[in-house]
Amino acid sequence: MLRGMYGAAAGMIAQQQRQEMLTNNLANANTPGYKADQAALRAFPNMLLKAMGTADAVPGRGGSYIGELTTGVYLQERMPNFRQGDLQETGNSTDIALLQGVLPQTESGRPGALFYTVQNENGDLRYTRNGNFTIDGQGFLTTAQGHYVLSTEGQPIRVDNEDFRVAENGTVTNAEGQAVAELNVAYAEDPMLLVKEGNGLLRFEGEGDGLPTAIGNGDISYQLQQRFIERSNVDAAHTMTEMMSAYRSFEANQRILQAYDQSMDKAVNEIGRIG
């Protein structure tokens, strides 16, 4: 009976975590460049049951095998979906959308992804798909949180004012028409090596100092679209359906747990009194 209670409780915890993930996705449905998380639920290792002291016991095994017992479920991992989001025209020169084209086949079979390279307040490299940029007081192109957007040289890009232009290949020219830098676009062969940090930033957890650049790679094609932003790839209708499914699963496990609790109550307070 206790195993049943543990299994139902594990199911409730897993569905609560899934619900929290889906709620976060829905809350970021209008966040530019946001990539929806997906959950992978997995059962705990099964236990083999066998009958002890029976006549048909298997020699040397101490009993005859009955079957397997599932010991519960857990949320194994949260995986971002790096599918391209829709583009939305804003008319703002500081909005730059990154449109992925053809990417090379990877050994893992998972599609790669492209990202802007930015520098956080500690000087560390971070990556983002949120092209909703702004210009700080010194004329540098930054994210909404004030993180410098980096060029192919690994330096902040100074545009001075909003009268700058960004070509499809990433070349940045100022109001006088002079080329000042080239936006760096990083390529992640395995995007699962990137970890979300919040505010649209991702941290690279693989080997090396960071992601390689996509600039000059003939196997990769992309376009930068100024005055556009990439919308979130969250499907609000599908997310709402999944939230209802998670809620119903949570309720089902809750009712099972209540049934076990009532059985335990009777076993302790009624059967024990009869004996």
Q: Residue 97: pLDDT band by 50, 70, 90 thresholds?
A: very high
Shared domain for 95 and 209, answered yes or no, is yes
The range of the structural domain enclosing residue 217 comes to 87-230
Shared domain for 64 and 151, answered yes or no, is no
Work out how many domains the chain is built from and give that number: 2
Shared domain for 99 and 195, answered yes or no, is yes
Q: Any idea what DSSP says for residue 268?
A: I
Shared domain for 63 and 169, answered yes or no, is no
Shared domain for 147 and 66, answered yes or no, is no
Shared domain for 92 and 221, answered yes or no, is yes
Give the separation between CA 103 and CA 259, rounded to whole angstroms.
53
Shared domain for 91 and 226, answered yes or no, is yes
Find out whether 181 and 148 touch, Cβ atoms under 8 Å: no
More confident residue, 260 or 136: 136
Shared domain for 66 and 108, answered yes or no, is no
Q: Residue 57: pLDDT band by 50, 70, 90 thresholds?
A: very low
> If you count DSSP H runs as helices and E runs as strands, how many of each does the chain have, helices first?
3, 19
Give the separation between CA 87 and CA 35, rounded to whole angstroms.
14
**How many Å from the N-terminal Cα to the C-terminal Cα in the chain?**
20
| Mean pLDDT on 258-267 | 80
Closest CA to 38 of 188, 190, 234, 205: 234
Shared domain for 149 and 176, answered yes or no, is yes
Q: For residue range 203-238, what is the model confidence (pLDDT) as tens digits?
A: 999 888 889 999 988 889 999 999 999 999 999 999
